[in-house]
Amino acid sequence: FKEAVEDDVLPDGSPVRKGGRVIYSIYSMGRAVGVWGKDCREFRPERWIGDGGRFECESQFKYPVFNAGPRLCIGKKFAYVQMKMVAAAVLLRYRVNVVDGQVVEPKITTTLYMKNGLLVTFIPRAQKEIGGGVPPPPPPP
């Protein structure tokens, strides 16, 4: 939470008095109809994919996982690159399947994670799936 050093007004018009504490819930913000629209509870990853097929975030304040504005985490780009490299390396070598019958329930803390974890199986891909001995596809035009 943050404490107001002077009287202020939030962007939605809510007053904050000097000494007042402000906190926001990333969990709630990520499910707010006013921010995301009526389909806010639907899993729609395409909402972040632009016409060019790349990630687009219309406002860093709308999805502030790495904070936003002048306090933006300097490691954000590095974290995204590292995440993509690990995902690509794993998915290239394995098929990942979620174990049937799991109850997926979030544990709401400062960092949101699954209450009971997520059990998956890793099935090694056959060499032909990885592309062994097959020439790579031509680059896009």
pLDDT, tens digit, 9 for 90 and up, residues 8-42:
998 889 999 999 998 877 788 888 898 888 998 89
The answer as to whether 112 is a domain residue is yes
Task: Mark whether 80 and 65 lie in a shared domain.
Answer: no
CB 84 within 8 A of CB 76: no
Nearest CA to 57 among 109, 34, 66, 88?
66
pLDDT reading at 43 higher than 90: no
Question: What is the per-residue pLDDT for 4?
Answer: 92
User: Tell me: the pLDDT tens digits for 77-104?
Assistant: 999 899 999 999 999 999 999 999 988 8
Mean pLDDT of 54-63: 80
- Which residue, of 51, 73, 95, is where some domain finishes? 73
Q: Are residues 91 and 44 in the same domain?
A: no
Contacts of 101 by beta carbon, 8 Å cutoff, 6+ apart: none
Whether 83 contacts 76, CB under 8 Å:
no
- Do 69 and 79 belong to one domain? no
**By residue range, what is the domain housing residue 93?**
74-133
pTM score, whole prediction: 0.62
For the chain, the domain total comes to 2
Residue 61 lies in a domain: yes
Give the N- to C-terminal CA distance of the chain in Å, as an integer: 49
Number of Cβ atoms within 10 Å of the Cβ of 86: 10
More confident residue, 61 or 20: 20
The mean pLDDT value of the chain amounts to 85
- Asked whether residue 80 falls in the same domain as residue 67, the answer is no
Asked if the structure places residue 37 within a domain, the reply is yes
